[in-house]
Every structure is written in structure tokens, then in C-alpha cells.
């Protein structure tokens, strides 16, 4: 008697559950926007604090070297973003 009641309750519970919606995918543009707005300024601020700390100790040559490396890195990142948009433009131009 208890087993049949338990089986009936389990069957009712399984039938009354609501199925989740189909997954839509990952919002990559939202992730990139989040990193660009929140994470990148924090990392640049940390680099600035490190550079100011080194400059106050008299390590100006290391600060200039690190600054140049950071600027070159930012140029590579900007170049990669530019190539992404150029590639997207070329794909639309060829296939449309």
C-alpha cells in the first residue's frame, strides 16, 4: 500500500514538472563588452600603480620599458580587433 502510494506520488511529481526552455547559446558580445567596460580599466589602473611605484623608486628606465611594452601590446590588441572587423566586412562583401 505504501509502495503504490509512493509510486503514485512520484509519477504525479514527474508529470507536473515544467521543462526548461531550450538553451540559446553563449552571449559572446556581452562577455566582450563586460571585459572591455569592467576588467580592462582595472588592469590598466593596476599597471599605472605599478609604473608609479617604480618611478618613485627611481627605476625610470624600467618604467619606460614596461610602458613601451604595454603600448605595443595595446596596439596588437587594437590591430586584432581591426582585423576582425575587416574580415567580417570582407566576408559580407564576398558572400552577399
The pTM (predicted TM-score) of the whole model is 0.46
Cell of residue 67, nine digits: 610602458
* Integer Cα distance of 44 and 38 in angstroms: 11
DSSP 8-state assignment for residue 58? T
Q: Which residue has the cell 570582407?
A: 90
* Integer Cα distance of 51 and 43 in angstroms: 12
Q: What are phi and psi of 70, to 5 degrees?
A: -65, -40
Per-residue pLDDT of the chain (96 residues; tens, 9 = 90+): 677 777 777 777 666 666 667 777 777 778 878 887 888 888 888 888 888 888 888 888 888 888 888 888 888 888 887 887 888 888 888 987
pLDDT of residue 37: 85
Strands (E), 4-90: none
Amino acid at each position: 500500500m505504501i509502495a503504490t502510494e509512493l509510486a503514485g506520488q512520484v509519477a504525479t511529481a514527474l508529470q507536473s514538472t515544467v521543462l526548461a526552455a531550450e538553451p540559446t547559446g553563449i552571449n559572446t558580445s556581452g562577455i566582450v563588452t563586460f571585459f572591455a567596460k569592467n576588467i580592462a580599466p582595472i588592469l590598466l589602473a593596476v599597471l599605472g600603480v605599478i609604473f608609479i611605484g617604480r618611478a618613485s623608486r627611481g627605476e625610470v628606465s624600467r618604467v619606460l620599458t614596461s610602458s613601451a611594452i604595454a603600448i605595443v601590446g595595446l596596439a596588437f590588441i587594437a590591430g586584432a580587433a581591426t582585423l576582425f572587423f575587416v574580415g567580417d566586412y570582407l566576408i559580407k562583401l564576398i558572400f552577399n
